[in-house]
Amino acid sequence: MHQNKLVGSSIEVLKEWEKVVLVRYGEISLKSAPVRRFMEKILIGNMKWMLNRKKIPYNSIIRERGRIFLKCDFPREICEALSNVFGIVSTSPVLETSSDIDEIIRLSERVAEMLIRPRESFAVRARRTGTHDYTSIDIERKVGAAILAKTSNLNTTVNLTKPDKRIFIEVREKKAYIYYEVFPGIGGLPYGSEGKIVSLFSGGIDSPVAMWLMMKRGCKVIPIYFDNSPFTDQSTLNRALSVIKIMREYATHKKFYIYVVPHGKTLENIIKLTPRKLTCILCKRALYKVATALAEREKAKGIVTGESLGQVASQTLDNLMILNEATNLPVYRPLIGLDKLEIEEIGKKIGTYKASSISVTSCRAVPEKPATTAKLDEIKSIEKIINSIQEEINSAKKIYID
């Protein structure tokens, strides 16, 4: 929840002071100077892309160490729009004034008059960067005393542990910023700052969560959906496309697409020519091989999957080793140590769970008793007769998502 959330915003009423959005980032600030500048540049580009996509205007963007400032006319709308931009820890609509203590007090009094209701308690929280003739504690004491006097007719009180309202003051060199709302962000690293990977994407509960977690770590992710028709039907593709549209809201770049690969012929060959208990492991190895080829086409640096250890037959330690052997690329499994409930909670948080839970036709190629401890030599010998994988690679089609 946003701290001190109100109906409307006093910041948009106080026209005497310039309206600004304060953007905070986290671990970017811990990087070396060249890496930090690189990531800040990507983050600002991603912010611009999101605001342009949502058609929210802004006047200028100013970068300082640990902070980014947007001068604008619609600060709360900007804060809401930036809440899904990876790399941003939080944002606040702020009012800008000089670092003169009297000016800080004057603006804080005006904010307090609009924010604090009768018989409410309040606290002032201040932080300061730069050289000034006062400390952060001086700001809190002087501003708090001024607000208490200004609102004495409302029977207000100071409560430093559990106040009804908080007024925040941030002083940076010659400027000061006053605010009372904090919009949480999703943190992580700027999208695209760590390079590109491909993702095995079914649209079920697990694969979107795995994809999102890698996006949060700065990866540009290209999803790959394998169409198992005639062993499934159109409902599975419809679900995948519905979920990928949700993921698109997190992907801050112009061209976002999903590969759709016809996989039914390969499944038919596997069922017809190989032992039934090996269907799932052979199928999954085929997915890895196609994903490897598409990753090389895209100059991607690995494959992300929604696999969680022990969840299904193909995800035992023995079978995961066999799957790894099917590709020369790194395989990233961000869900490997999570159980289903933990994965579902993340899905709910990022907005994919409901769409992923839609009932669809289950794959009819799954055997009654799939192998949980397949043997690599046997698998490699058998799969030589499955000769449709190159055809899958050639038939892969991009579907662009606006």
pLDDT tens for each residue of 84-106: 999 999 999 999 999 999 999 99
Residue with token string 């690995």: 302
pLDDT of residue 83: 94
pLDDT band at residue 66, thresholds of 50, 70 and 90?
confident
Contact between 111 and 150 (Cβ < 8 Å)? no
pLDDT of residue 12: 57
Cα 23 to Cα 9, 70, 75, 249, 377: the distances in Å are: 18, 8, 11, 19, 55
Secondary structure E strands in 303-359:
303-304, 331-332
Average pLDDT over residues 234-240: 96
The fourth-level CATH superfamily of domain 196-400 is HUPs (3.40.50.620)
CA pair distance 26, 106, nearest whole angstrom: 31
Q: Is the pLDDT of residue 129 over 60?
A: yes
Residue with token string 């820890």: 89
pLDDT of residue 13: 55
Question: How crowded is the C-beta side of 44, counted as CA atoms within 13 Å?
Answer: 18
Residue 261 φ then ψ, to 5°: -115, 125
pLDDT of residue 327: 97
pLDDT of residue 75: 92
315-327 pLDDT, tens digit each: 999 999 999 999 9
Q: Is the pLDDT of residue 381 over 60?
A: yes
Pairing of strands 121-129, 165-172: parallel
pLDDT of residue 384: 86
CA pair distance 33, 49, nearest whole angstrom: 24
Query: pTM above the 0.75 mark?
Result: yes
Q: Quick one: tokens of 309?
A: 């250890």
Residues of the chain with CATH 3.40.50.620: 196-400
Report percent pLDDT > 70 for the chain: 96
Whether cis (ω within 30° of 0) applies to the bond prior to 230 is yes
In 159-307, alpha helices (H): 206-216, 234-248, 264-273, 279-298
Q: Is the pLDDT of residue 214 over 70?
A: yes
Q: Is the pLDDT of residue 15 over 90?
A: no
pLDDT of residue 312: 87
Considering just the CA atoms, what is the radius of gyration of the chain in Å? 27
Q: Is the pLDDT of residue 244 over 60?
A: yes
Q: 119 or 13: whose pLDDT is higher? A: 119
Which CATH architecture describes the domain 10-184?
2-Layer Sandwich (3.30)
Residues of the chain with CATH 3.30.2130.30: 10-184
CA pair distance 300, 221, nearest whole angstrom: 9
